[in-house]
């Protein structure tokens, strides 16, 4: 359910302004604080329950937060329904930037488009968006001392504070999007899913746990991907074989 109604008054004040951290990392949008970590609201609550692929990041960064708020401002200005604004914001902002292009290449290389009958992984984010659900281990943006949280300091899976979001939100999404192949990006996200698997909350057959994080900051992603490509390709084919 969209929570946009709780934040619309402040968001409306951002019309025609350059969205900076000084305007978005503010008490009006703050959800919670734990030591050096701060969690902020983002209109990312749309869940595509009929998706065939579910891609999970660590947490939205500031770039994604800014893009999402730009869409929220436009949508509120037009008087669009809150769920439609959430859907549009997520579609535009999820994994936006060079990271999304890197993700296209990796998903193409493991045969995902062929497995689900589309022309490319880029189409999965465009005209075939109805097949995709995107989310994060922590749905809302997390910042550590004002910088993007990267899954470390503390380790996500070892943080009771951050895992409370994963348990209360991500786990419900995993249950709701029940027919999707799950693609966690990077070790931090995969560790969260492995914990759910160990606890009997998630079927490991659904999970492509080997995918490296596509961020350009992950200098090991090419080697990691090359080492795991064949196994990921096999798992993709296996999951969609009878679907």
- What confidence score (pLDDT) does residue 175 get? 96
**Adjacent-strand bridge partners of 136:** 57
CATH of segment(s) 4-240: 3.40.470
Residue 34 has pLDDT above 90, yes or no: yes
- pLDDT tens string 145-177: 999 999 999 999 999 999 999 999 999 999 999
- pLDDT tens string 110-142: 999 999 999 999 999 999 999 999 999 999 999
Per the prediction, the chain carries an average pLDDT of: 94
Annotated domain spans of the chain: 4-240
């Amino acid at each position: 359910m969209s929570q946009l109604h709780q934040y619309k008054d402040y968001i409306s004040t951002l019309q025609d302004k350059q969205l900076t951290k000084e305007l978005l990392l503010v008490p009006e949008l703050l959800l919670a604080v734990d030591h050096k970590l701060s969690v902020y609201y983002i209109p990312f609550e749309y869940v595509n329950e009929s998706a065939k692929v579910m891609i999970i990041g660590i947490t939205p960064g500031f770039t994604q937060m800014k893009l999402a708020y730009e869409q929220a401002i436009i949508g509120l200005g037009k008087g669009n329904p809150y769920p439609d604004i959430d859907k549009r914001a997520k579609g535009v902002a999820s994994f936006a930037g060079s990271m999304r292009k890197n993700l296209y290449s990796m998903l193409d290389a493991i045969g995902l488009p062929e497995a689900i009958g589309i022309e490319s992984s880029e189409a999965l984010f465009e005209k075939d968006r109805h097949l995709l659900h995107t989310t994060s281990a922590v749905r809302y943006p997390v910042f550590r001392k004002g910088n993007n949280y990267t899954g470390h300091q503390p380790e996500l899976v070892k943080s009771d504070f951050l895992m409370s979001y994963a348990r209360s939100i991500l786990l419900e999404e995993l249950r709701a999007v029940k027919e999707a192949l799950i693609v966690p990006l990077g070790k931090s996200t995969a560790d969260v899913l492995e914990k759910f698997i160990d606890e009997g909350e998630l079927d490991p057959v659904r999970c492509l746990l080997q995918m490296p994080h596509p961020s350009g900051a992950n200098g090991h992603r090419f080697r990691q991907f090359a080492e795991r490509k064949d196994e990921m390709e096999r798992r993709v084919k296996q999951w969609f074989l009878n679907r």
